[in-house]
Amino acid sequence: MDKMWSGRFSASASSLLDQFNASIMFDRKLYREDIEGSLAHATMLAKQGILTAEELKDIVNGLNQVMNEIESGEFEWKISDEDLHMGIEKRLTALIGDAGKKLHTARSRNDQVAVDFRRYVLRKNREIVEALKELMGVILDLASKHTETLMPGMTHLQHAQPINFGFHMCAYLSMFKRDIERFESSYERNNISPLGCAALAGTPHNIDRSMSAEILGFSGVSTNCLDTVSDRDFALEILFNISTMMMHISRLSEELVMWSSYEFKFVELSDEYSTGSSIMPQKKNPDVPELLRGKTGRVYGSLMGLLTVMKALPLAYNKDTQEDKEGVFDAVETAEISLEILKEAIKTMQVKEQNMLSACKVGHLSATDLADYLVEKCGIPFREAHFITGKAVAKSEELKIDLSDIELTYLQAIDARIKEDVIPYLSIRNSMNARKSSGGTATVRTQEQIEFFQNFLKA
C-alpha cells in the first residue's frame, strides 16, 4: 500500500499490474524536464502565496538533490512508483518532508506529463534542426565543388538530360530546407504551456499560468485545458517531420547505394563508413545508406502507431496516451544518429567524376537539344522536330555511337535543313549549360542555388 493514490484502496496492486501500468522505465528520460517543471510550478505557487518562502526553499533544495542523485546514478527507479512524476515526488517528500507533499497543489500528472513531454519534443526539435543544418553544410560544400561535374540526369531511372552533380545535390538541399522549415513551424505552434491545466478543468487555486510558462521558456499558455491535457499533436508533428526528413534521407541513401554499385561507380564510400562481407572477401557494402533506408520504415511505424493510439480517444486524458513516448524517443534517437552518420559518410566519400562523365556518353542525352535546335534554328514545329530527332537516335544506335558523336552527314541525310551550326547543340556540356532558365541546371544557375542555400544557412 505504498502508492501515492492508495487512499481509496484496501488491497495492494498486483505486481503484474505494476509491470503493465508503469512507464517509469522509459519516461525517466524526461527527468530534467520534470524537475524543471516542478521548480517553475513551485516558484509560481510561492509568488501567489500558495507556498511559503520556506517551503519553496525546501522544495528547490530537495529537487536539486534529486536531480544530482539521478545524474550520479544513485537514484532508485522503482516499477512500483509507476512513473517518473511519482518516483521523483516520493523521493522529494522523503528528503524534505511535508513541503514535498504540497508541490502537487494546483497540478495533476496530466498537465505535468504534458509539460514534460512537450518540452522534450521542443528541445529535440531544436537539436534536430541544428543537425540538419550541419548536414546541409556538408552537402553544400560538395555541391560547390561540382557545379561543372557532368552526370546523367534521370527520369524513370533512365538517362534523360545531362546535369551537373552540384545541381543534383542542390535538389537534396531543397528537401532538407523544407524539413527545417517544417520543424520550425511546429516549434512555434506548439511552444505553449500546459502547466496549470491540472487534471482537465483548470484549478480553483489562484495560480498564474503565464508566470510558470515564462520560467519554462514557453511563448504563452494554452487556451483550453480539456484539449491541452490530451493533446499530443506536438508529438505527432515531430514524428511526421522526422518521417518526411527520413523519407528524404532514404531517397539520397538509395542513390548512394546505386552509385556505389559496379554498374554506376559514381561514388565510393570511405572504408570508415563501409562494411565487408563475412563470406565474400572482395565485398565492400554500403550498409550505412541501406540502414538509413531501412530505419525510415521504422520511423513511419512510430508515426502510424501514435496516430492509431490517438484515434477516437474521448476527452480528456486517457491512459492510452502513455503509449506516446517510446515511439517518439525511438524516432528522435534514430533521427539523431542518422543525420550524424549521413553527414560523415558524405564528407568522406569520393566522387568519381570520370565515371559520371562516361555515363553521359550513353543514352543520347543531347537528343532534346537536337530537337530544340530544329525548332530554334530551322523553324520546325516541336512535334516534327521530336520525330526527326528520333530518327537521328535510331541512326546512332545503328552506328553504335552516342548521338553527341554523330557526324553531320548522317544528320543531313535524315533532314537537309540541318546545318553545321548543329554541332555545339550536340555537346553534353553545352546541353547542361543551355538549361539556364530559373532553377535550371546550367552551372551559373547552380551557383545561384548554392548561394541561396548558403544565405539560408547563415540566416
- The three cell numbers locating residue 173: 538541399
Using the rule CB under 6 A, is 132 a contact of ligand ARG? no
Q: Which among 287, 188, 186, 197 has a CA at the least distance from the CA of 245?
A: 186
DSSP sequence for 290-352? HHHHHHHHHHHHHHHHHHHHHTTPPSS--GGGGGGHHHHHHHHHHHHHHHHHHHHHHHHPEE-
Q: Which among 32, 34, 59, 33 has a CA at the least distance from the CA of 45?
A: 59
Among 27, 81, 89, 330, binds ligand ARG (CB under 6 A): 27
Tell me the C-alpha distance between 192 and 243, whole Å. Answer: 24
Q: Which is nearer to ligand ARG, 4 or 401 (CB)?
A: 4
Q: Least CB distance from residue 84 to ligand ARG, whole Å?
A: 8
**Interface segment toward ligand ARG; rule CB under 6 A; list 73-81, 204-212, 313-321, 331-339:** 313-321
Is 277 in the active site? Answer: yes
How many distinct helices (H) and strands (E) make up the chain?
Answer: 20, 6
Using the rule CB under 6 A, is 116 a contact of ligand ARG? no
Using the rule CB under 6 A, is 260 a contact of ligand ARG? no
Size of the site for ligand ARG (CB under 6 A): 10
Is 6 in the active site? Answer: no
- Rg of the Cα trace of the chain? 31
Among 317, 373, 425, 453, binds ligand ARG (CB under 6 A): 317
DSSP sequence for 10-65? SSPPPHHHHHHH--HHHHGGGHHHHHHHHHHHHHHHHHTTSS-HHHHHHHHHHHHH
Tell me the C-alpha distance between 441 and 458, whole Å. Answer: 24
Using the rule CB under 6 A, is 58 a contact of ligand ARG? no
Q: Least CB distance from residue 34 to ligand ARG, whole Å?
A: 10
Using the rule CB under 6 A, is 119 a contact of ligand ARG? no
Q: Least CB distance from residue 2 to ligand ARG, whole Å?
A: 17
The three state secondary structure string of 70-97 is HHCCCCCCCHHHCCHHHHHHHHHHHHHC
Tell me the C-alpha distance between 226 and 198, whole Å. Answer: 9
Residue recorded with cell 520546325: 380
Among 212, 321, 368, 389, binds ligand ARG (CB under 6 A): 321
Using the rule CB under 6 A, is 244 a contact of ligand ARG? no
Annotate each residue in 70-89 with x if it binds ligand ARG (CB under 6 A) or - if it does not, as one string: -------------x------
Q: Which is nearer to ligand ARG, 27 or 237 (CB)?
A: 27
Kind of pairing, strands 350-351 and 267-268? Answer: antiparallel
Query: How many CB atoms are located within 10 Å of the residue 98 CB?
Result: 9
Using the rule CB under 6 A, is 120 a contact of ligand ARG? no
Catalytic residue among 156, 278, 437, 438: 156
Map the footprint of ligand ARG across residues 154-183, applying CB under 6 A: none
**Interface segment toward ligand ARG; rule CB under 6 A; list 108-116, 162-170, 233-241, 278-286:** 108-116
Q: Least CB distance from residue 74 to ligand ARG, whole Å?
A: 23
**Interface segment toward ligand ARG; rule CB under 6 A; list 41-49, 107-115, 264-272, 274-282:** 107-115
Q: Least CB distance from residue 235 to ligand ARG, whole Å?
A: 11
**Interface segment toward ligand ARG; rule CB under 6 A; list 72-80, 122-130, 314-322, 345-353:** 314-322
CA distances from 409 to 168, 386, 392, 414, 417 (A): 35, 19, 11, 9, 12
Using the rule CB under 6 A, is 109 a contact of ligand ARG? yes
**Interface segment toward ligand ARG; rule CB under 6 A; list 105-113, 136-144, 169-177, 385-393:** 105-113
Catalytic residue among 12, 185, 277, 358: 277
Tell me the C-alpha distance between 405 and 360, whole Å. Answer: 12
The one-character DSSP state at 275 is B
Residues annotated as catalytic (active site), given as ranges: 156, 277
Binding site for ligand ARG (CB under 6 A): 23, 27, 83, 109-110, 113, 317, 319, 321-322
